[in-house]
Structure 1
């Protein structure tokens, strides 16, 4: 009897597991879900959507178009609230919240407000099979939905994505495509970066040259880098789209484009229907060469351009510059109805301000002691202007310096300025989290990118309850210096934006990365149906450098996307669709260099990775007496773009560090050479994970173990080295010019992190 009861229990558990596996994967995870047995099937031929008020007609029409295309059915919207799908609104409860019920009577979505209904529609889309995202009619006889009852609301009101359209330009249709995907995952803020040094993208009727000339450029270094990468990486997504290139009157090719005011209004209206607010960013007083180059009197001096790191800014000492800024914003206000607007305010090179008579006169008349206070004076002047027009100003976290205005909202981007959150909220100002690590989507995605986003805490414990309430939410930022095409834009944004979406929406108690990752796998097919050229998951199972000490080593490669095809070469050429396909682990008996590359089911080539396998004899330890604790770090005033030239640069200072790190007082142009000895506790193969921003190299026993050189965003490269217990010489080189990072983790053969000891030069 007991055996029968146990068997019956196991059967029920198995059925439950199967049922759970068959349940739709919803991202972001809802607050409360109750699944029931049974399914509802949409009627064939005609579908009715009933909405309870005229305010919901745009949402109903949006849903109708979404259903009509793949189902091939006629979809009618009724005003009496009756239909197979019913939309209604309570006007009560948390903003953006909704209830969704599927039962024998059909589908009912009740939103707390309009955006709540849109959020319910986003969840409904994910309850349907993936084919609901198809762009043409699909031969599916039965469009079924599982019975379910969902009660849901967002954690934060700000769940955003920024798109930089200045460095590289995206058409109206491309922006709308992005908005469609963002709406599916309940992203409700679109931060639109419209002006910068490289291009002015929004029509301002009072200043037509801003787009007539400022909207176009002869190819710059960002364009040329992209075109070189298209060839070097066998990736056409780095090519400049032909429809964004024209020939000017001198026969030169120019890159660019801009949005007319009518187009801007069209995009803003399109986003509004989908529950998305659009926030324009017009960068000032820095990042403004596209304006300065076309209108006289906006800068301190006629000579403008790039300084050591940043461009010459506008001149806050000139009344003409102030009037220009207000004129521009007056037209922008008419195009963007949302409360928030973004002034930029980051990376301002104030060198000219120190020498400008107008700036110094302004400082004297307002009793300002520093140029940072002059920028704050400008910010406050614009803030008052914004407030007079019913707008709230957002600025990057540099606007804190010199004095924060009473109504300004701070957008935190500098990870190396961690006090920005406390400084802002303790002042009573609102705050948006988008620190460059991990929220910059233009940084190459790595194996830890998703979990670092997912695990980010927007409300740390050092904030009071009042201060935590001032955290509006989170945002992913996509800067486009190296993102010239629609496909590359989608590749860099997804799937990382799905992690941002769930971080901003879900309750911390429901946040389980393993569960999110399982749901994410199920969304790859849906993204394909949407035409999203998402980044395939990392290939795993190896390091950049892999060591084996026996006669043979094993090559093992995995990909989380079960549909991905993995191909490889060993002759130094990049894998293509004809290269050898990886089908399972295999052994090698000699040093071998591989290039692995994953391919999507549509044949699209993803990134490739170079992997070395090395047969090593463990390096002997050395004996050195009278060592001092810590490594020696030598700081060079270095402006180069790789580690090779650091030694030749002037020395600024020498330090002792307790590990591989940047000494606290080392800033600006950094070239570090860190030397000494690493002590490992036992014989074995050790794994070294070197993270840096920008470049770095690691040598142990005078052998290159990790080569992470070159200019790049934060990137971790992992290599191995076989060593005997004891002391081994170590050398790390590193360079950076603006807010760098440097870190080394060491792991043993079992994958456990080892707390190694570091020693410097012998004591005298």
Structure 2
């Protein structure tokens, strides 16, 4: 794969002739058909809009508000003769639309209300970026339709809370990029965020907490990374009766109605998620009798779940959802169903009786029983149930829609669709936008293949593409924007655009032109990565430091003393020569002063390491030892019980290794010639790579999937390699080796 920096450079300086028109107007997601002609159409100082069907009046009002926000001019709604005409198509695919800008004005036709909303989204991206400029629209004819009917974003408001106004702004931006499902994660272990009138303690107690480890981690990282957007907003902190500080907030039922109506006007359906039976500690700690035993809390990884053996718990679940049904008109609801710690169920007399009464022999079957019980209740009330793909494990009903998130279990989509169940793809590897961004994430989203393991009939059950913003490390709305953008634009295009219209180089060109639009909307997107650097760089005599950023508006600053670059630090203006070991820290700064991620890049002067000379006969592959390791750091893996010994083709997780994975991978790699080699170590969770006894990449600790890069100078031949790795709930481990030109080297492994 071409290095990301080269892709961005290519995208910034060249146009693919077949897609030149689309790039000129820079619409995301890429429309199905665009025909652009020369010239523009200038709307008058007092532009108007008309509709040909009363059902489109809310869309006209929405367009008028959006038009004013972007241009400073409010559209007046008129009965006839409007500069912009909204027409309801009598047939056509759901969500499809056409848009034509010509001398007589703008005509938009939408297949249903949602089709018109999608047409408005395209028109908004043709308006001037700068507020107050005259409205000159390109003469253009667009015919467009969505690839998938489900194009979603989940926002976790339990771990960290976002206000109604903050969510409304997010919904506006979702509509701008034609996303149509707002998945609202309202409850979890760390907070209950929605009012339930029958159970007031859920918000009186469950919506507020003393600072927990997620709060303290955010505050610590804010200081460590010099990132103010990681701080807890003061507006969401209150002083409790005992004088201590509490964090939290919740949505009243009126708030929920407000959000649902606001989203509906923008063509977006709201899907509530109330987690059960796991991830329910906020409820369990608010009301007695919902868990198996009085003692509750955290286990090794997950919390005490609800008790499906107790009728009181079932009544609670029914009552909560009954109130939710009245608030959320969309046909789908989400029950969660993931990461349930069932140890208590094994010891609980109520659970064991429930199992015996229903002929169940395992605890996963008990969860399946509970899921089917709740699903029947949903169906009685005209609702359809969505659950995370964990529910596959105990057996699916034919009605559950499965959200596949466990990308380390690639057979999940096949299992769900072969059973006849609808599927929504949201693999954690790329579509969890709360993970740290690196240069693999954007192309990973864009190049994801939802049909990779499916036959034609199974592929028809894929409802669409989803993405998730989990809130553990997203403490503020500013951090929310930082995590979502620009990656959410790639999600939007993946979910909307037809594969034959998609091209990653073209997308990056359009994305670069979208950044000023995001800025104009007040979206403090994450400044693009600085490229051209590795965390660890090795040179033998001299080297040249070259730093790139695709965003021409940023200023790159650096330090050499290990401190964080600030506005007063030296400006990087071009390539710099290094002849001695130097420790750089680079950072981009936006025009508004906001800070990008700091990038530490060590340039270490070294010499070529000698190859191993031995007459020993080696076998191909690497030795891979699997330990039953529960720790959070690579150190200590070998002190755990050994569970298996394997030979693997390269650096990877043996297929036999499940849960509490601690790996020690050893052997030799054979390089084809003298030189400095680059090692890209990708892992979820921690990993370390040593070559010739030298730590080349230190990717240790509990973290989301990420790639770190280091270099090592070697002579041709064999060099000892050692990789340590751990994970406790499914993971990923990969190593790629490149030469000095950035070309992947197919090294051979021996043991």
TM-score range, shorter chain: over 0.9
Deviations 1:41-65 (A, max 9, x none): 1111x22110112211111011111
Aligned length in residues = 736
Structure 1 residue 526: deviation in Å?
0.4
1:677 correspondence with 2:678: no
What residue in structure 2 maps to residue 123 of structure 1? 122
From the superposition, tell whether residues 20 and 194 of structure 1 become closer, same or farther in structure 2 (CA, over 3 Å): same
Q: Is it true that 1:441 corresponds to 2:440 in the alignment?
A: no
Name the residue aligned to 1:489. Answer: 480
Q: Is the 8 A contact 1:81 1:88 kept in 2?
A: no
1:214 match: 206
Alignment of 1:173 with 2:165, yes or no, is yes
CA distance in 1, matches of 2:72, 2:555: 33
Alignment of 1:440-519 (within 5 A): 440-460=432-452, 462-519=453-510
Question: Where does residue 703 of structure 2 map in the other structure?
Answer: 712
- Out of 409, 414, 422, which is 1:422 matched to? 414
Does the Cα contact within 8 Å between 2:68 and 2:74 map onto a contact in 1? Answer: yes
| Corresponding position of 1:64 | 64
Aligned partner of 1:6 in structure 2 is: none
SS at match of 2:166: helix
Contact 1:51/1:82 (CA < 8 Å) preserved in 2?
no
SS at match of 2:464: strand
Corresponding residue for 2:642? 651
- Counterpart contact for 1:159–1:505, Cα < 8 Å: yes
Among candidates 579, 591, 599, match of residue 581 of structure 2: 591
State the Cα distance separating 1:484 from its structure 2 match.
0.3
Aligned-pair distance for 1:128? 1.2
Instruction: Return the alpha-carbon distance in structure 1 between the equivalents of residues 456 and 619 of structure 2.
Output: 46
Q: Which moved more, 1:302-311 or 1:416-425?
A: 416-425
Q: 1:255 aligns with which of 244, 247, 251?
A: 247
| Deviation sequence 1:187-239 (CA, Å, 0-9, x none) | 00000000000000000000000001000000000000000011111111111
Rounded Cα–Cα distance in structure 1 between residues aligned with 2:144 and 2:407? 32
Q: State the Cα distance separating 1:369 from its structure 2 match.
A: 1.6
1:606 alignment partner in structure 2: 596
1:18 to partner: Cα distance: 13
Task: Find 2:258's aligned residue among 266, 286, 306.
Answer: 266
* Shift, 1:525, TM fit: 0.4
Taking the TM superposition and a 5 Å limit, the aligned residue runs for 1:689-708 are: 689-708=680-699
Q: CA deviation at 1:395?
A: 0.2
Question: Any conservation in 1 of the 2:527–2:596 contact (CA below 8 Å)?
Answer: yes
1:275 to 260, 267, 276: 267
Q: CA RMSD in A?
A: 1.6
Counterpart for residue 47 of structure 1? 47
Task: Note closer, same or farther for the CA distance 1:220–1:128 as it changes in structure 2 (3 Å cut).
Answer: same
Residue 563 of structure 2: aligned partner:
573
Describe the shift of the 1:19–1:280 C-alpha distance in structure 2 as closer, same or farther (beyond 3 A): closer
Query: Aligned equivalents of 2:89 and 2:692: distance in 1?
Result: 70
Cα distance change on mapping 1:526 and 1:191 into 2, 3 Å? same
SS at match of 2:287: coil
Equivalent in the alignment of 1:155 = 147
1:632 shift after superposition? 2.1
| Other-structure match for 2:741 | 750
CA contact (8 A) 2:679 2:709 kept: yes
2:3 matched residue in structure 1: none
Mapped partners of 2:627, 2:454: distance in 1: 38
Q: Which residue matches 2:96?
A: 97
Q: Distance in 2 between matches of 1:646 and 1:403?
A: 34
2:162 and 2:693 map into 1 onto residues whose CA distance is: 48
- Matches of 1:605 and 1:210, distance apart in 2: 38
In structure 2, stretches of 5+ residues that fail to align are: 1-13
Matched, 1:379 2:378: no
Aligned-partner Cα distance in 2 for 1:22–1:711: 41
User: Within 2, Cα distance between the matches of 1:397 and 1:17?
Assistant: 40
1:628 Cα offset (Å): 3.4
Q: How does 1:660-671 map to 2 (within 5 A)?
A: 660-671=651-662
Q: Which residue of 2 aligns with 1:134?
A: none
| Cα deviation 1:694-718 (Å, max 9, x = unaligned) | 1111111111111111111111111
- What SS class does the counterpart of residue 451 from structure 2 fall into? coil
Pair 1:419–1:244, CA change in 2 (3 A):
same
Shift of 1:274: 0.6
Q: How far has the Cα of 1:182 moved from its partner?
A: 0.6
Give yes or no for contact 1:81–1:87 (8 Å, CA) kept in 2.
no
Give the conservation status (yes or no) of the 8 Å contact 1:386–1:392: yes
- How many Å apart are 1:146 and its aligned residue? 0.7
Q: TM-score, normalised by structure 1?
A: 0.94
- Pair 1:442–1:71, CA change in 2 (3 A): closer
Number of the residue aligned with 2:178: 186
Contact (CA 8 Å) 2:70, 2:129: kept in 1 or not? Answer: no
What's the offset of the Cα at 1:493? 0.6
Q: 1:35 aligned to 2:26?
A: no
Q: Report 1 or 2 for greater relative contact order, CA contacts < 8 Å, sequence distance ≥ 6.
A: 2
Q: State which drifts further: 730-739 or 277-286.
A: 730-739
SS in 1 for 2:391: helix
Contiguous gaps of at least 5 residues in structure 1: 1-12, 132-137
Distance 2:23 2:201 in 1: 57
Q: Secondary structure at the match of 1:540?
A: coil
**Does the C-alpha gap of structure 1 residues 592 and 359 become closer, same or farther in structure 2, counting only changes over 3 Å?**
same
Q: Distance in 1 between matches of 2:416 and 2:394?
A: 13
- 5 Å-filtered alignment, 1:314-463, equals 314-460=306-452, 462-463=453-454
Q: Secondary structure at the match of 1:537?
A: coil
CA distance in 2 between counterparts of 1:19 and 1:712 reads 41
Does 2:620 correspond to 1:620? no
- The worse-fitting range, judged by mean Cα deviation, of 234-243 and 537-546 is 537-546
Contact kept in structure 1, 2:87 and 2:109, CA below 8 Å? yes
Distance (Å, rounded) in 2 between the aligned partners of 1:151 and 1:601? 36
On the 8 A contact 2:152/2:179 being kept in 1, the answer is: yes
